[in-house]
């Protein structure tokens, strides 16, 4: 999230899913060994952010995301030529992913253990399916902003890691739009200062 509260820049599109300037929110993570590893790349840097990234991917059994984060395609998908999102043939999740959408679709089974299951009956149904798939492990809420806001507002978030980039975007998509004035029991639990980012972990007090 930017210092002014945006998690994506303006004018998001299939060509530029992060929006104008949105890449500036991720500059801290791309050089890290911990991030490169989940994307099948060797090498990289180690710094104060490394343990935060490692923690964020440890013990995750399922992921939930909105359809924009899956692939930006509004659907309905054409069965003869389906759009499989922008995660490629071997997405970096390596576990079941549940995509909130209004358009029914058969699950996608991809390489490396990632599947995409499309859920059309809301955030609680998606959470229930993810719980089943996770088999006791944690569930990651990957985004985008609207999906995060829905889960926050429903009080269904147990932990929240804000990776605060010390920059302004000026416009775009706000993480907390419509959430109101209530973090539903989440309290600041840990702060890590690192190059180009401050990590703020919230948890139940």
Would you tell me which residues interact with a copy of itself (CB under 8 A)?
A: 3-5, 21, 162, 166-171, 174-176, 179-183, 187-188, 191, 193, 196, 198, 200, 202
Q: Compare residues 107 and 185 and give the one whose CB is closer to a copy of itself.
A: 185
- 113 or 178: CB nearest a copy of itself: 178
- Minimum CB separation of residue 166 from a copy of itself in Å reads 4
Q: Tell me the C-alpha distance between 123 and 26, whole Å.
A: 26
- Residue 57 or 200: the one with the smaller Cβ distance to a copy of itself is 200
Please, what is the end-to-end C-alpha distance for the chain in angstroms?
23
| SS3 assignment for 54-86 | HHHHCCEEEEEEEHHHHCCCCCCCCCCCCCCCC
CB of 190 to a copy of itself, least distance (A): 8
What b-and-e string marks burial along 146-181, b requiring 16 or more CB atoms within 10 Å of the CB?
bbbbbbbbeeebeebbbbbbebebeebbbbbeebee
The residue (of 74 and 180) whose beta carbon lies closer to a copy of itself is 180
Query: Three-class SS of residue 159?
Result: strand
> How do 197-204 and 115-119 pair as beta strands?
unpaired
For residue 124 the two structure tokens come to: 């609680």
Closest CB to a copy of itself among 21 and 144?
21
- Nearest distance from C-beta of residue 38 to a copy of itself, angstroms: 26
Residue 159 beta carbon to a copy of itself: minimum distance, rounded to whole angstroms: 13
Q: Phi and psi at residue 167, in whole multiples of 5°?
A: -145, 160
Least distance to a copy of itself, CB of residue 149, Å: 11
């Amino acid at each position: 999230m930017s210092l002014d509260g945006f998690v994506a820049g303006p004018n998001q599109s299939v060509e530029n899913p992060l929006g104008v300037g949105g890449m500036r929110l991720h500059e801290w993570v791309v050089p890290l060994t911990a991030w490169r590893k989940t994307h099948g790349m060797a090498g990289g840097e180690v710094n104060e952010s490394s343990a935060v990234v490692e923690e964020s991917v440890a013990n995750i059994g399922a992921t939930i995301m909105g359809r924009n984060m899956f692939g930006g395609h509004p659907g309905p998908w054409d069965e003869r030529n389906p759009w499989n999102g922008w995660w490629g043939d071997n997405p970096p999740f390596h576990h079941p992913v549940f995509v909130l959408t209004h358009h029914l679709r058969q699950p996608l089974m991809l390489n490396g253990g990632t599947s995409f299951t499309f859920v059309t009956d809301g955030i609680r149904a998606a959470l229930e399916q993810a719980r089943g798939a996770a088999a006791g492990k944690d569930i990651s809420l990957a985004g985008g902003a609207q999906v995060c806001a829905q889960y926050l507002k429903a009080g269904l978030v147990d932990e929240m890691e804000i990776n605060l980039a010390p920059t302004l975007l000026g416009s775009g998509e706000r993480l907390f739009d419509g959430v109101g004035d209530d973090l539903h029991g989440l309290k600041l639990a840990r702060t890590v200062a690192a190059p180009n980012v401050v990590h703020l972990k919230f948890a139940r007090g």
